[in-house]
Amino acid sequence: MQNAKDSFYLALRTRLTTINPERTILVRGALRPGILVEEAEGPLSQIPSDVFVLRWQGLGVDVDLDSTLVAEECEILYQTLGTQSFGGLDRGRMLSAMDEELLAMVQPFYTPKLNYSATPPATMLTQVFWDEPSFTPAVTMRDRLSRSAKVLVYSYQEQGE
């Protein structure tokens, strides 16, 4: 499933740079697109504001098909404080903008599966595909508005995976 997870993340990251190239984050001195995979970063005491954080959860396998189908749930968390120029009073607008960006990032609902352990990444035989996101209600914690969306990501296992 690692190839599918990597392919999903990199598809979203590439799409985000097209949708909103200004959504970035500074990580260990490098400016990157504003999307992180929680398990691939150092421990986060709190998710950063104005960034999408992917958290991989439950795994399922269907072996009753011609090829084994694997599915893993991805929770995408994000929050905002709004902007300083508006004293944070635009938090709702900023959260709505992130909602729209997320909807745009997940469409189309598929991407080629690549093996990123090779350099350059090797194209595999199948694709990674996913369901529409399921959004939670917005949560207010003091000056922050946050939300998460869950997406089921599917992939057929290939030889050697």
User: pLDDT by residue (tens digit) across 102-149?
Assistant: 999 999 999 999 999 989 999 999 999 999 999 999 999 989 999 999
Determine whether 108 is exposed, middle or buried from the number of CB atoms within 10 Å of its CB (0-12, 13-18, 19+): exposed
In tens, the pLDDT along 74-115 reads: 999 999 998 777 766 788 899 999 999 999 999 999 999 999
Q: What is the CATH number of the domain that holds 140?
A: 3.30.2000
Is residue 29 one of the residues assigned to a domain?
A: yes
Helices 91-105 and 2-19 sit at what angle, rounded to 10 degrees? 120
Residue 128 dihedral angles phi and psi, to the nearest 5°: -100, 135
pTM of the model: 0.93
Here the contacts of 84-91 (C-beta below 8 Å, separation 24 or greater) are 88/143, 91/143, 91/144, 91/145
Residue 149 falls inside a structural domain: yes
What pLDDT digit, counting tens, does each position of 37-85 carry?
999 988 878 889 999 999 999 889 888 878 899 999 999 999 999 877 7
Question: Is pLDDT of 16 > 70?
Answer: yes
Q: φ, ψ for residue 37 (rounded to 5)?
A: -105, 115
- Is 106 within a domain? yes
Question: What integer pLDDT is reported at residue 106 of this predicted model?
Answer: 98
Q: Give the sign of the dihedral formed by CA 21, CA 26, CA 29, CA 30.
A: negative
Is 23 a domain residue?
Answer: yes
Containing 25, the helix (H) or strand (E) segment is: strand 24-27
Q: Is residue 20 a part of any domain in this protein? A: yes
**Tokens at 91, concatenated:** 């938090």
Interior angle at CA 101, CA 48 and CA 57, nearest 5: 60
Classify each residue of 42-80 as buried b or exposed e, where b means 16 or more C-beta atoms within 10 Å of its C-beta: eeeeebbbbbbbbbbeeeeeeeeeeeeebbbbbbbbbbb
Q: Tally the domains of the chain.
A: 1
Domain extent for 45: 2-156
Mean pLDDT for 20-25 is 97
The neighbouring-strand residues paired with 127 are: 112
Q: Is residue 100 part of a domain?
A: yes
- The answer to whether position 161 is within a domain reads no
